Structure 1
Amino acid sequence: MALLKEEDDCKITAVELGKETSEKYEFYQESLKNCKYISDEWISDLQQSKWQSNQQKKSIAVIENSITFWESQRRKARDAEMLRLEETLAALETKGPVLIDPYLEPRPVIEGLPYKRSVFKPPVKLPILTELQWLSVEKQLSGRPLEEVILDRFRLAVTVKDMLSLFPNQWLTDMIINLYLQMIHHRSIIDNELKPSAVMSTFFYTRLSSGGYSVVKRWTKKLDIFAHNFLFFPIHDRGIHWCLAVADFQEKVLTYYDSMGGKNDVCLNRLFDYLKSEHATKKGVPLADADQWQLVNGERETPQQKNGSDCGVFACQTAEFLSRGSELVFQQEDMPCIRQRMMFEILNQKLLTTETDLSHLKD
């Protein structure tokens, strides 16, 4: 057998191989044929494996970039929320200038309730929605335009957007607060075990503050507030924080409930002046025993919120609990469940704490 040999002068000559060498060479060639590492299939598999590896690396890079981006967005959202909360708390700690009215004689304001509130109905455990109840809420809201009116009750048109304000970390709209308070009022009418409760609109105190009694005296044309045991005033303090003031005509106490622990002597005196003016105008005589009334900052009695978005829920629940004579046993940790419950209650017109169905009532 002859092999080609390259000489130093670059000439190629044939070299004769011996029999033994020839057999070894043929064996070597045969072994090369059986070697997978130089086969066309192995090279193709190697190229495919390398391509898959590159694709996997690209996918990992895309996922890592996505994680980095959303983590950055989360930090920005958290920082923005913390800044908003700090600004809100700072605003709440700042009291605006108040001009002293020489004709106004403010009554002394007491800190804390001056009496033990009588509880004529024992507190109940907070209702928690079942899975089916929550699914019914999601079904009623899904796929609807934000501005669509989903409920029209008590001359209040509630939109999908209003309902979405009951989702976590959202500020309640005026419409939600007004409708929920109306449900509390109408429950007290049909439930003989509850004391009658009247409610004012979320816009009432703002108008009273800006225009005085003459601006709001017609708001109760068809309502005798003195025929009720409780009168609830939702207060939008400085336009950024919901509180609740409650006139208890039986105990002769006007109380201010602030879930951030604030006090508001100006509000209490203004509301008490309203009660006196309303009684003199509608009844024709001064408010009886006006000097026996007590004005109370009830921050010690009020459950405290731990964020900047649940104040409206706290105000609504304070009214709901007080209207049935219950102690204020809810707290911040209950807010997610309470928000869900309020959504179900509004959409189904049923207050679950007393299982009172309002859906059959006429507006």
Structure 2
Amino acid sequence: MVCYNDELVNIEDKGIMTDTSIQSNAYILYYEQTELVINAYLAIIQRDHRDLVLCLDTFFLIEKKRDLKSIKSINTVDTVLIPVPSNNHWSLLVVQSKNQTVFVLDSSGGTNKKAVEFIRSLYKKEFSIDLSYTKKLKHKISLQENGYDCGVFVLLYSEALAGGQSLCFTKNEIATARQRIRQRIMKAVIKSI
């Protein structure tokens, strides 16, 4: 068992760190592993872009006790990234504090209105901030062409927003993203040992 930034990586149970999964291009983002991978990779993005973004974990929207005020840097960053699980699908909820907006990046084109309304009401209650909801994005985004890349897209969107890059990805970037994500997580885990 290895821990990276409070994310537990269990070698035996998850199979993430076995020789075969490291050496092959097998999918690392199976649904049962998606939460673990998303949380670990968002921790890396958070580490690399600490002053620009706050990456909340996959449990934020499903935990019973949600307290935004206890999250120290929530008002000091421009962008808050929240991965949203919904019926075997993942999307990314984005709060931009500077212009007080919230929007969803969904690789299948969904809007996830429940998550948007929840975060709007939470910001209103905790900070008296009325976030406006933006359906139409200024920038075009890439959409997935299969039924299993949503977790990869959440991480690519997060990385792009944190780095001020385009939300459009080439087919080659998407095809190699799993391997790159796996390698960055493994490197971070090994460094932390």
With the length of structure 2 as denominator, give the TM-score of the two structures. Answer: 0.81
What is the aligned partner in structure 2 of residue 226 from structure 1? 75
State how far apart, in whole Å, the 2-side matches of 1:316 and 1:198 are: 14
**Maintained 8 Å contact 1:304/1:331:** no
How far apart in 1 are the matches of 2:98 and 2:170?
27
Correspondence 1:299-338 to 2 at 5 A: 301-338=140-177
Consecutive unaligned residues in structure 2, runs of 5 or more: none
Identify the residue that residue 277 of structure 1 maps to in structure 2.
Answer: 125
**Offset at 1:200?**
1.3
Contact 1:264 1:297 in 2 (8 A): no
Q: Which residue of structure 2 aligns with residue 196 of structure 1?
A: 52
DSSP 3-state at the match of 2:142: coil
Q: What is the alpha-carbon distance in structure 2 between the residues aligned to residue 332 and residue 273 of structure 1? A: 37
Counterpart CA distance in 1 for 2:101 and 2:54 is 15
Q: Does the aligned pair in 1 maintain the 2:140–2:168 contact within 8 Å?
A: no
Aligned-residue RMSD, C-alpha? 2.8
Max radius of gyration: which structure?
1
Q: 1:216 aligned to 2:66?
A: yes
Q: Give the letter aligned to residue 225 of structure 1.
A: I
Runs of 4 or more above 6 Å deviation: none
| Structure 2 match to 1:263 | 111
Supply the distance in 2 between the matched residues of 1:154 and 1:274 (Cα, whole angstroms): 26
Q: In 2, distance between residues paired with 1:232 and 1:224?
A: 12
Q: Structure 1 pair 316/275, CA: closer, same or farther in 2 (3 Å)?
A: same
Structure 1 residues 332 and 162, CA, compared in 2 at 3 Å: closer, same or farther? farther
Give the 3-state SS of the residue equivalent to 2:147 in structure 1.
Answer: coil
Counterpart mapping for 1:286-305 below 5 A: 286-287=128-129, 290=130, 293-297=131-135, 301-305=140-144
1:178 aligns with 2:26: no
Select the structure that is richer in helix: 1
Percent of counterpart pairs with the same letter?
Answer: 23
Q: For 1:117-266, what aligned pairs fall within 5 Å after superposition? A: 149=1, 151-160=2-11, 161=14, 163=16, 164=21, 167-168=26-27, 170-171=30-31, 172-189=33-50, 195-207=51-63, 211=64, 215-217=65-67, 221-238=70-87, 240-266=88-114
1:333/1:167 Cα in 2 relative to 1: closer, same or farther (>3 Å)? same
Q: Determine helix, strand or coil for the equivalent of 1:173.
A: helix
Paired residues of 1:162 and 1:173 also in contact (CA < 8 A):
no
**Structure 1 Cα separation of the partners of residues 136 and 185 of structure 2:** 28
**SS of residue in 1 equivalent to 2:36:** helix
Offset of 1:332 from its aligned partner?
4.5
Question: Offset at 1:331?
Answer: 4.1
Paired residues of 1:265 and 1:297 also in contact (CA < 8 A): no
For residues 12-161 of structure 1, what are the structure 2 equivalents within 5 Å? 149=1, 151-160=2-11, 161=14
Structure 1 CA distance for aligned equivalents of residues 155 and 35 of structure 2: 11
Q: Which has the higher contact order (CA 8 A, sep 6+)?
A: 2
CA contact (8 A) 1:246 1:256 kept: yes
Deviation, structure 1 residue 277: 2.1
> How many pairs does the alignment contain?
182
C-alpha displacement of 1:202: 0.5
* Consecutive unaligned residues in structure 1, runs of 5 or more: 1-148, 190-194, 280-285, 351-357
CA distance in 1, matches of 2:93, 2:107: 12
Per-residue deviation at 1:173? 2.2
